[in-house]
Amino acid sequence: MAEIPDRKNMTTADILAFCRAEVASAQSSAPEAEPAAEASADEEAWEVAEESAQAEAPAAPAKKPTSTKDILAAARASAAGGGDKPAEKASAKPPTAKKGAPAAKPTSTKDILAAARASAAGGGDAPAAAAKPAAAKKKQQAAAPAAAGSGEKPSVKEMLAAFREERSAPAVAEDVPEGEKRPPKMPVPPRKPKKKPLPEPVAQDRRAFLAALLVIPSAFAAAWVMLATTTAAWGLALLRFALPNVLVEPPSKFKIGPPGDYDFGTVSTKWKAERGIWVVHTDRYKGKNVIVALSTVCTHLGCTPNWLEGEQKFKCPCHGSGFYVDGINFEGPAPRPLERHGIAVAADGMLEVDKSIKFQEEMGQWEDAKSYVEV
């Protein structure tokens, strides 16, 4: 421990790994090949750590065929089968290990754990041969300060994940006793040590959630029903409002005097203010000599045009629409002729205008005999 230059920068994981490594090397009467295998696994672990760091960036291609798991498995396998093919492995590993990864790269807890476990297991099983615990120790010591110095520490979450993985790892390792049978073949995407929520809170959450599921729909339904009811009530009230008991407005049918009051070729504006009609006597429209009641509402946007005697046209002050004496639109934006109201000669010989009906030229309704009084 004294060798570690900056203890403050050691993470729990680093310390843990370091201790384990020490214990393991102390126990081991490791074969000659072991330290090499371990070292290679170790180095590779560094490298993988670096690689997974790179792989976080989307552009970085995952070239290396190893994941932490694979290394773990391989290391464990090498430990277990250390007696069988130590030399082979030792020779097989270094090339991968020497892919230029500097040993000073920061590592994740997982990798360190893996390395440590590998060395520990190897220590127990491997046949004895020129054991060099010091070498392993040295290696670790060299690595630890570097890792510590580099300052990149695994987060608490990563550590938790690693521990959890470790818990389940032995089973995996037992299933695959021969490391060679599980060669690192595919580039496995780096693990994202993300939220693996703790089991207990999850259960609680779920229960609360289920309870909410039962309550919320009914609350929603109630809210909607209430909203719909209120809207419907308002709508009905509005409807009632549109049908008043008493209507204070002049009757839509009214007498405007005998036809003789309206000379040929004139526009009478005397009913404009009171009743909103012009009484027009003209034969401009299709040559029929008629008296009509024109509405004083502009067909563009509803302003009230003025009758200009000099120009013989109705002219709207709002956007400049113009209508001929017979009500046909000819200038400005008005899209349709002025509307006619119903007009007829009553029994007493007076002209009677019915404002409740209207006749639109563009619909061909001016042909209707109720829309004019022929003279």
Question: Where on the chain is the footprint of ligand FES (CB under 6 A)?
Answer: 298, 300-303, 316, 318-321, 332-334
Least distance CB 256 / other proteins (angstroms): 16
Cβ proximity to ligand FES: between 123 and 305 the closer is 305
Please identify which residue in 67, 107, 108, 296 interacts with other proteins, judged by CB under 8 A. 296
Cβ proximity to ligand FES: between 128 and 301 the closer is 301
The half-sphere exposure of 111 on its side-chain side, counting CA atoms within 13 A, is 30
Q: What number of other Cβ atoms are within 10 A of residue 12's Cβ?
A: 12
Asked if 314 and 338 count as a contact pair (C-beta separation under 8 A), the reply is: yes
Rounded Cα gap, residues 118 and 71, in angstroms: 10
Three-state DSSP state, 71: helix
Least distance CB 309 / ligand FES (angstroms): 19
Give the one entry of other proteins, ligand FES, none that residue 96 binds, where binding means its C-beta sits below a cut-off of 5 to 8 angstroms depending on kind.
none
Q: What number of other Cβ atoms are within 10 A of residue 193's Cβ?
A: 21
Please identify which residue in 335, 347, 348, 369 interacts with other proteins, judged by CB under 8 A. 335
Considering only the stretches 43-51, 206-214, 235-243, 293-301, report the one whose residues sit in contact with other proteins under the rule CB under 8 A.
Answer: 293-301
Least distance CB 292 / other proteins (angstroms): 18
Rounded Cα gap, residues 139 and 137, in angstroms: 5
Rounded Cα gap, residues 299 and 20, in angstroms: 94
- Comparing CA positions, the residue from 196, 374, 178 lying closest to residue 289 is 374
The CA-atom distances, in angstroms, between 135 and each of 38, 80, 110, 174 are 10, 20, 22, 28
| One character per residue 310-329, x = contact with other proteins (rule: CB under 8 A) | xx---xxxxxx-x-------
Rounded Cα gap, residues 233 and 241, in angstroms: 12
Least distance CB 42 / other proteins (angstroms): 46
Rounded Cα gap, residues 222 and 216, in angstroms: 10
Least distance CB 356 / ligand FES (angstroms): 23
Rounded Cα gap, residues 146 and 6, in angstroms: 10
Instruction: Note whether 304 binds other proteins by CB under 8 A.
Output: yes
Q: Which residues pair with 340 in a beta bridge?
A: 294, 359
Least distance CB 364 / other proteins (angstroms): 6
Please identify which residue in 3, 6, 56, 367 interacts with other proteins, judged by CB under 8 A. 367
Least distance CB 315 / ligand FES (angstroms): 9
Instruction: Note whether 276 binds other proteins by CB under 8 A.
Output: yes
Rounded Cα gap, residues 113 and 115, in angstroms: 5
Cβ proximity to other proteins: between 253 and 336 the closer is 336
- Comparing CA positions, the residue from 94, 85, 120 lying closest to residue 41 is 94
Cβ proximity to ligand FES: between 148 and 316 the closer is 316
Binding site for other proteins (CB under 8 A): 272-274, 276, 296, 299-301, 303-306, 308, 310-311, 315-320, 322, 330-333, 335-336, 360, 362-364, 367
